[in-house]
Structure 1
Amino acid sequence: MIIYKKGNTEAMEINKTSLRINLLLLLVWAVAAIIFKKRLCFKKRTVPLLPPGPMGYPIVGCLPQMMKNKPTFRWIHKLMQEINTEITCIRLGNTHIIVVTSPELAREFLKKQDIIFASRPNCMSANLTSNGFLTTVMSPMGHQWKKMRRIIVSEVLSPAMHERLYEKRCEEADHLVRYVYKQSQNPLAKGLVNMRVVAQHYCGNMARRLVFNKRFFGMGTEDEGPGLEEKEHVDGLFTILKYVYGFATADHLPWLEVFDLDGCKRVLKDAIQC
């Protein structure tokens, strides 16, 4: 009888201990559930909704529609007209592209909330064009960009440097006038001058003169116009401007850069080699 009572007492103590542990676990689980629910409700209240936009596919978003409808900016404008909105959100891969057509909304992005939207995206086209973000214009905002910006402002864009290069700018302006005059007197062109091409090469001549201290890489032409090297250089620059930040697939899904589905990487490499 004594042994039976002792075993019964031990069993009761074990049951009480197990009950306490179960109650403690249940209490912890209930508290955790309440905290999780409150945080979830708080998150739902604080996170604002995104602007209206098309429903994309999982992972890739609206990239298939973007690749199917070229050029991309026309597809975006058409999409906004169909939705009848001045602001829309288009998900391309893991990136949400916010497009606005209203001047008031654009001022909100560029003036009031400029700190949030001032940085440049880290994408394939910018990385390839700047040789690994070595330029100030395309580098994402950060400590390195601030150091480069400080040097650019103090050394390159300073009033002293601007005054120092005044004569070179005047020489290029005089050369522009002479070239346009000779083109207008050319009987083969019948007095017609393509000012778009002239303006493009004037910008190229100015940049080469300020950076390399020479107008042409080669000898130029007899009428003081650009030669073959200068034409390739300017064409390459405008090709880069066309494709950088140009909605390339690899810009939004970096793991697709190897496949180069839309050919942007190949075109940029060819333009950079020019």
Structure 2
Amino acid sequence: MLDSSSLLAFILGSLIVALMMKRKEPKKNELVTSYTRNLRLPPGPKPWPLIGNLPQILRRNRPVFRWIHSLMEELNTDIACIPLANTHVIPVTSPRIAREILKKQDSIFATRPLTMGTEYCSRGYLTIAVEPQGEQWKKMRRVVASHVTSQKSFKWTLEKRTEEADNLVRYINNLSRKMLFGVRHFGKGSEDGFGPGFEEIEYVDSLFTVVTHIYAFALSDYVPWLRFLDLEGHEKVVSGAMRNISKYNDSFVDQRLKKWRNGKMKKPRDFLDMFILAKDTNGKPALSDEEIKAQVTRPPGSHVIRLTSQPTATRSTYQ
């Protein structure tokens, strides 16, 4: 087996042989002209003949981006030029210069670099994601714009996006509940322990029902004496949903309060404990039991906007 020194020598030797081979001359209409060749390059480390600064990277300077940052700090520059064989790497740390490159000179710098990884992942540069500018890139952009990202295709995939948005909301609520109550689900959850059970579905459905109706139009909000009529039926819906939410939240809060008051808990482990332990300036509990229950009625994350065409829909989050 080759040791590291022999391997390095082999790599460098191969590069030198490859670079000495005759290369195709650039065409007249290419961006590289005699004028640009005579312009001064940004500052950079002193390169080796033919192989540039490859030895510094291959030997010890990993990860490469940290070496580049430290090099630019040593040179006290916002733009540098690091020759790597026949390629000039131009790192930039100045927002002003970056805007110049990406906006004003984007026609020159917008193309993607050719690498081993991009060649493999694009099956020989057939995809728009990493394809350098050229006829293939133009073709793929036309196809994607007219068939994939069109208004028609977005309508076709609405149901799929809604389904995955609901899945995302489910896990966000799991995270919120874990932070607030220290549990993932109300009840046992699904058989695999990750999905919702009946209790979870009922709770989250009720939660979204309340959120949907918080600022929904109701005539009694503007003419209070009509409230007893409940003309839109909102009060009946919201009060029923709140009963479901309180059924889970209140019992959980009562059990936790009992543990703290009986001395069975000593250290806080979630946000609920922090609400319980909050003290006023006199050292007394800052929140009453009802205030604590009100705080946890709408856990963090329950306000997530659902990605549907009907923001006020009340169908089950987990259908």
8 Å Cα contact 2:126-2:136 kept in structure 1? no
| Structure 1 position 89, deviation (Å) | 0.5
Distance 1:120 1:45 in 2: 20
Letter of the structure 2 residue corresponding to residue 88 of structure 1: A
Residue of structure 2 in register with 1:181 after alignment? 173
Q: Given the alignment, which residue of 71, 74, 86 partners 1:79?
A: 71
**Aligned ranges 1:179-218 → 2 under 5 Å:** 179-182=171-174, 190=182
What CA deviation, in whole Å up to 9, does each residue of 1:1-31 have, x standing for no partner? xxxxxxxxxxxxxxxxxxxxxxxxxxxxxxx
93 and 221 in structure 1: CA distance in 2 versus 1, 3 angstrom threshold: farther
**Aligned ranges 1:1-274 → 2 under 5 Å:** 47-67=38-58, 68-182=60-174, 190=182, 222-224=193-195
| Structure 1 position 165, deviation (Å) | 1.9
Q: What is the DSSP-based 3-state SS (H/G/I as helix, E as strand, rest coil) of the residue aligned with 1:91?
A: strand
Letter of the structure 1 residue corresponding to residue 63 of structure 2: P
Identical aligned residues as a percent: 49
Distance 1:90 1:221 in 2: 53
| Structure 1 position 180, deviation (Å) | 3.2
Q: What is the DSSP-based 3-state SS (H/G/I as helix, E as strand, rest coil) of the residue aligned with 1:96?
A: strand
Q: Which moved more, 1:97-106 or 1:172-181?
A: 172-181
8 Å Cα contact 2:81-2:88 kept in structure 1? yes
Distance 2:41 2:105 in 1: 16
Q: What is the DSSP-based 3-state SS (H/G/I as helix, E as strand, rest coil) of the residue aligned with 2:146?
A: helix
Distance 2:103 2:36 in 1: 26
> Normalised by the size of structure 2, how large is the TM-score?
0.44
| Structure 1 position 159, deviation (Å) | 2.1
| Structure 1 position 137, deviation (Å) | 1.0
157 and 184 in structure 1: CA distance in 2 versus 1, 3 angstrom threshold: same
Figure out how many residues of one structure are paired with residues of the other and give that number: 156
Letter of the structure 2 residue corresponding to residue 51 of structure 1: P
222 and 49 in structure 1: CA distance in 2 versus 1, 3 angstrom threshold: same
| Structure 1 position 182, deviation (Å) | 3.5
Distance 2:111 2:151 in 1: 26
Letter of the structure 2 residue corresponding to residue 223 of structure 1: F
CA RMSD in angstroms comes to 2.9
Letter of the structure 1 residue corresponding to residue 170 of structure 2: R
Distance 1:154 1:117 in 2: 26
Distance 1:106 1:175 in 2: 38
Q: What is the DSSP-based 3-state SS (H/G/I as helix, E as strand, rest coil) of the residue aligned with 2:102?
A: helix
8 Å Cα contact 2:111-2:133 kept in structure 1? yes
8 Å Cα contact 1:184-1:190 kept in structure 2? no
| Structure 1 position 80, deviation (Å) | 0.6
Q: What is the DSSP-based 3-state SS (H/G/I as helix, E as strand, rest coil) of the residue aligned with 2:91?
A: strand
Distance 1:170 1:45 in 2: 52
Q: Which moved more, 1:48-57 or 1:166-175?
A: 166-175
Consecutive unaligned residues of structure 2, counting only runs of 5 or more, are 1-32, 185-190, 197-319
What CA deviation, in whole Å up to 9, does each residue of 1:35-81 have, x standing for no partner? xxxxxxx9589721110011121222111212321111111111111
| Structure 1 position 190, deviation (Å) | 4.4
| Structure 1 position 160, deviation (Å) | 2.0
| Structure 1 position 106, deviation (Å) | 0.6
191 and 64 in structure 1: CA distance in 2 versus 1, 3 angstrom threshold: farther
221 and 122 in structure 1: CA distance in 2 versus 1, 3 angstrom threshold: farther
| Structure 1 position 96, deviation (Å) | 0.3
Distance 1:138 1:44 in 2: 30
Letter of the structure 2 residue corresponding to residue 53 of structure 1: G
Letter of the structure 2 residue corresponding to residue 167 of structure 1: E
Distance 2:176 2:161 in 1: 23
Consecutive unaligned residues of structure 1, counting only runs of 5 or more, are 1-41, 193-219, 226-274
8 Å Cα contact 1:184-1:191 kept in structure 2? no
